[in-house]
Structure 1
């Protein structure tokens, strides 16, 4: 099972085993980690699950769809590593996945 390291806004990091096929959002919410609000439940309509994907992990995920890209355009703190965690499906990999949860305060 892939290990996802969630780097939280308070500076701590938490490792979570996330099943292949689940989303980065699922891994966070199922483990009650702070920061990924996921108001829409993963339907790519609210952007409250905004994260930054570490450069070492970026190639593990499919390119963002147009709908995701449009939502990201209007977010404060968005950058070239920004993604919506509801759209990041965990691949079958032995590599650690590094995710930085954006401080949405």
Structure 2
């Protein structure tokens, strides 16, 4: 399946993922600046992404814990999510996601 990622620098790429892949891992594999400091344990907001409003309803609702972490994300909006909590399945083919301005990746 394809996910359309846009970085804070405007770079846009259609990346290929498989059912069961976490968006965080996929974005990192394609060198998008998502740090994921906590390793995807939902203990930080360094994998904050903004889902295209047209696609947001295709995602399962965020948990209360994810919503709490998003309170710490700089520039969070109504369609913000944590990439570590988005697990791909066939219903998400074509998903459009943007890494917000100010995102950084200390892994580099």
1:74 is aligned to: 72
Q: Is the 8 A contact 1:60 1:91 kept in 2?
A: no
Alpha carbon RMSD of aligned pairs, Å?
1.5
Q: Does 1:59 find its partner at 2:57? A: yes
Deviation at 1:92, TM superposition (A): 1.0
Deviation at 1:94, TM superposition (A): 7.1
Q: Find the residue that maps to 2:73 and give its secondary structure.
A: coil
Deviation at 1:70, TM superposition (A): 0.4
1:22 is aligned to: 21
Structure 2 CA distance for aligned equivalents of residues 38 and 102 of structure 1: 14
Q: Is the 8 A contact 2:45 2:72 kept in 1?
A: no
- More helix as a share of residues: 2
| 1:43-64 CA-partner distances (Å, limit 9, x unpaired) | 1111100000001221221100
Query: TM-score normalised to the size of structure 2?
Result: 0.87
What residue ranges of structure 1 are gaps of 5+ in the alignment? none
Aligned counterparts, 1:1-105, within 5 A: 2-33=1-32, 35-93=33-91, 95-104=93-102
Q: Is the 8 A contact 2:35 2:46 kept in 1?
A: yes
